[in-house]
Amino acid sequence: MRRKALWGAVVGSFLLAGMMTTVPTAQQPSGQFKPEGIPFNFNDMDMQVAPAAGVAVKAGRMFDAKAGTMLTNQTILIRGGIITDVGPNVQVPAGAKVIDLSAATVMPGLIDRHVHCFGGQDNQARTALDGLSTCLRDLQGGFTTIQDMGAVDYSSVEVRDAINKGWVPGPRMQVAGPQVNPRASNYYASPSEYKPFGTNGIWQLQQGINGPWEARRVVREHAHYGADWIKIYLTEDYEGSGYRGAFRPDGTMINVPSLSLEEVQAIVDEAHKHGLKTITHAYGGEGLRIALQAGVDIPMHAAVGVTGAEGLDEETIRMFKVPLANGTQRPIIQTLWDLIGGMEVGDLRDSTNHTTRFKLTEASFKRLVAAGVIEVFGSGVYGLAHGTQAMQFPIYVKWGMTPAQAIQLATYHAAATLNYDMPKYVGLIEKGRYGDLVGVSGDPLADISEMMRIKFVMKGGTVFRDELTKGAPPAGKLWSEDAPAGGGGGRRR
């Protein structure tokens, strides 16, 4: 069933401007990341909804994300948004729509566990609409499931719910709402007068956490207003000496702990009582130690060790491998897009060319992987470049992973620690899971750069992008010269 007219009416109403998704054309393991590629206007998207009898996808190659192997000549049956059968000898029921991808590679829909879609606009309505358009960029880029890792308000909750209710199209989402103890913009009050958190792009320490009981209050607020995760900031990257940005001039990293062990323990305990999970920004030092000791479900970044050691240290590895309270092994998310996309140049300046967060992350990534700590795909993407974060796959391979292992980060492993029962429904192509698929022309196990050229996107049996059977969408004017380009703003790291 063709829904182009409906799509134009719905999407055209909330896009502040025509949107662009770009695809990087080359590996850029260091230096500023500048995505380039063919622009795409969401108003031209032609959604294809499956008929009542379902849809059958003929996959010439199909990636088994659990085994890390490529199967051939598979048929995937999807009905009511759910995969009902998959295999080499599946019979296609009468009336089902057949999508022939026999010359392509089909994979589970990709998952990005660290995005920032809701950067803040003039009011909450515009923040929600701008954020929704940003989420659609991720869907267009092949990320059928995303985790928003901190917003200026609870707009992310409203957008998530609207997508789940079918009011608007978009990726599957789990959200954190406002960050708990967000970092300030400066080491002094700016502006000097108090402003409500999230207004006019101001970042202040205004969540009111000053002790374990206040920490519990904030978690309860988040639970009441619909957050799925509690996002904590545990390291500040500025200090009263005047140094700020992440590094001192000698190249040592600034990681000032922003919460106490008792406060974080209260956050973790209260979150788990409400069925929520916890996740934290912690680049290293005492803040990372507190995260690991307090039982935070997923630490992020860990560019240096709990002692500040480059390349981590034995104490950090030991603490990472201590099981969580539920007996599971905690994974880690180490973002790369944001380190290259917006921080590399500043890091070189602030460290007087000694080092960067990207360089430090390469060393810690390799050591964590060697120690058996599971890496999960998260990009930290923000702004207009949502949808380009697949540039991380070639970097994973450059750092020693096989292409199959790299893809598993954004499929099987990314799904495993989502909240609630979501791990049962995404991340794999198997009976009973959502019909979320992506496709590329070539074989990404032979050429991992294929992951940066997603040409087919399906969520729940509905096709959102198809350049494999229908060709690329027409190019058009991207945005009005006098209209603001949306996509979220704010300070995100």
492, part of any domain: no
Do residues 10 and 130 both lie within one domain?
Answer: no
* Tens of pLDDT, residues 413-469: 999 999 999 999 999 999 999 999 999 999 999 999 999 999 999 999 999 999 999
The pTM is what? 0.88
Do residues 419 and 455 both lie within one domain?
Answer: no
Which residue from 308, 289, 301 is spatially nearest to 250, judged by alpha carbons? 308
CATH code for the domain of 313: 3.20.20.140
Which residues on adjacent β-strands are paired with residue 148? 115, 175
Distance CA 83, CA 57 (A): 10
**pLDDT per residue rounded down to tens, the chain (493 residues):** 444 333 333 333 333 233 333 333 333 444 444 544 345 566 767 789 999 999 999 999 999 999 999 999 999 999 999 999 999 999 999 999 999 999 999 999 999 999 999 986 778 899 899 999 999 999 999 999 999 998 888 999 999 999 999 999 999 999 999 888 766 656 655 555 555 544 444 444 556 688 999 999 999 999 999 999 999 999 988 887 778 788 999 999 999 998 999 999 999 999 999 999 999 999 999 999 999 999 999 999 999 999 999 999 999 999 999 999 999 999 999 999 999 877 899 999 999 999 999 999 999 999 999 999 999 999 999 888 899 999 999 999 999 999 999 999 999 999 999 999 999 999 999 999 999 999 999 999 999 999 999 999 999 999 999 999 987 665 433 222 232 333 333 333 3
The residue segments making up the domain with residue 351 are 111-423
Do residues 90 and 62 both lie within one domain?
Answer: yes
Do residues 123 and 169 both lie within one domain?
Answer: yes
Do residues 116 and 105 both lie within one domain?
Answer: no
Do residues 311 and 340 both lie within one domain?
Answer: yes
Do residues 437 and 414 both lie within one domain?
Answer: no
Domain boundary among the residues 423, 446, 474 is at 423
Helical segments of 310-458, H only: 314-320, 337-338, 344-350, 357-370, 392-398, 403-409, 412-416
Q: Are 184 and 203 in contact (CB under 8 A)?
A: yes
* Tens of pLDDT, residues 370-388: 999 999 999 999 888 899 9
* Tens of pLDDT, residues 235-290: 988 887 778 788 999 999 999 998 999 999 999 999 999 999 999 999 999 999 99
Distance CA 310, CA 304 (A): 5
62, part of any domain: yes
Do residues 84 and 122 both lie within one domain?
Answer: no
